[in-house]
Chain A
Amino acid sequence: MSFLNYFKGKKPKSASVAKERLQIIVAHERGQRAQPDYLPQLQQELVEVIRKYVQISDDMVQVDVDRNDHCSVLELNVTLPEK
């Protein structure tokens, strides 16, 4: 098998794998960095409010801020448990 692979030369070089992985993780981390710092607390308080009515765990509420040129959108995703 490896003999054939040698001639095909199809295995991606490790440097390009590294670059691709870095581009993804760095973009993700920059996105998080740009989030306002009240976000974690907002998320926590939202979880507590929702818990008054429905039993959910912390990770079932996702809070994100999307920024466009003209406005910011606060995106709130709540996953409700199955009944």
Chain B
Amino acid sequence: MARIIVVTSGKGGVGKTTTSASISTGLAKHGQKTVVIDFDVGLRNLDLIMNCERRVVYDFVNVIQGEATLNQALIKDKRVDGLYILPASQTREKEALTKEGVEKVINELSGTFDYIVCDSPAGIEHGALMALYHADEAIVVTNPEVSSVRDSDRILGILQSKSKRAENGLEPAKEHLLLTRYNPERVDKGEMLSVQDVEEILAIPLLGVIPESQVVLNASNQGLPVILEEDSDAGQAYEDAVARLLGEEREHRFLTAQRKGFFSRMFKGA
């Protein structure tokens, strides 16, 4: 039985797809057979971030509607063993993701994979509900910014009332906070909510803090999950998060501002 993880946030543009790509890549690197599913029907982007956009032949909706088998639709990642991508459909209506159809696909994947990562679309509409419905665990991606924190709380409420686990009265899905685009310098200046602030408001356990970093855009430009940029702060922060997801205890890094030396201050204008 696979462990099902939803990557969700409510708000758009906070880093769900970036996170889904890196977490699934990280899990596969740890030897876990992993499939990452794009639930954003009509606005597919995971394929671009994972650099397989030209290899998409069949998609999630084709499988649901019986026009292709799972094996035909799954794309095997070329960099990491044991990693597969199930792309979203680009043309169809969001309602094409029926509850029964999604369930059938998840059950089938569940037999052969260790982890199923569901990349949720933004919002709280049908696609987002389908993505979180089967979740055993939820990674709530949040930026240290008011609208993102509020939307995260909203999606947590939906997870607690509308997921399969909630409907069946089972143990609730395990919740994880992943704070992205964190800028310790601005936190020091009192211009940005701190990790502690967000933890206090949302009151869920912290999985990781991804520092705001130019590496993230550079990686997505090239279709490289940022976790594979192993020398970068953001890549290492994702690697830590994956290790924690797998039960390892790791100290949180990149939470404090780096003191700038005299020369860099002189030449980079502080």
In the assembled complex, B231 has its CB within 8 A of some CB on chain A: no
Report which of B197, B201, B202 forms a contact with A15, defined as CB distance below 8 A. Answer: B197
In the assembled complex, A52 has its CB within 8 A of some CB on chain B: no
Question: Using Cβ atoms and an 8 Å threshold, which residues of chain B touch A22?
Answer: 146, 149-150, 193, 201
CB–CB B146/A18 < 8 A: yes
Question: Using Cβ atoms and an 8 Å threshold, which residues of chain B touch A18?
Answer: 145-146, 193, 197
CB–CB B146/A15 < 8 A: no
Question: Using Cβ atoms and an 8 Å threshold, which residues of chain A touch B191?
Answer: 13-15
A/B pair count, beta carbons within 8 Å: 42
CB–CB B201/A30 < 8 A: no
Main secondary structure of the interface of B (DSSP, over half): helix
The verdict on A29 contacting B193 (CB below 8 Å), with A19-B201, A21-B146 known, is no
For B, the interface residue count at a CB cutoff of 8 angstroms equals: 19
A30 to B161, CA, bound (A): 12
CB-CB nearest in chain A for B190: A13
A32 to chain B, nearest CB (A): 9
CB–CB A19/B193 < 8 A: yes
CB-CB nearest in chain A for B153: A26
A23 to B161, CA, bound (A): 21
User: Which residues, 25 to 40 on A, are CB-close (under 8 Å) to B?
Assistant: 25-26, 29-30, 33
In the assembled complex, A72 has its CB within 8 A of some CB on chain B: no
A23 to B150, CA, bound (A): 9
CB–CB B193/A26 < 8 A: no
- 1/0 per residue, CB under 8 A from B, across A28-66: the answer is 011001000000000000000000000000000000000
The verdict on A30 contacting B157 (CB below 8 Å), with A19-B197, A22-B149, A22-B201 known, is yes
Report, as a range, how many residues of chain A touch the other chain: 10 to 19
Report which of A14, A15, A26 forms a contact with B194, defined as CB distance below 8 A. Answer: A15
In the assembled complex, A16 has its CB within 8 A of some CB on chain B: yes
A66 to chain B, nearest CB (A): 19
Question: Using Cβ atoms and an 8 Å threshold, which residues of chain B touch A15?
Answer: 187, 190-194, 197
CB–CB B190/A14 < 8 A: yes
Of the A-B pairs whose beta carbons lie under 8 Å apart in the complex, a sample of 12, sorted by A's number, is A13-B189, A13-B190, A13-B191, A14-B190, A18-B197, A22-B146, A26-B149, A26-B150, A29-B154, A29-B157, A30-B153, A33-B157
Which A-B residue pairs are the 7 nearest by beta carbons?
A13-B190, A19-B197, A33-B157, A15-B190, A26-B153, A18-B146, A22-B201
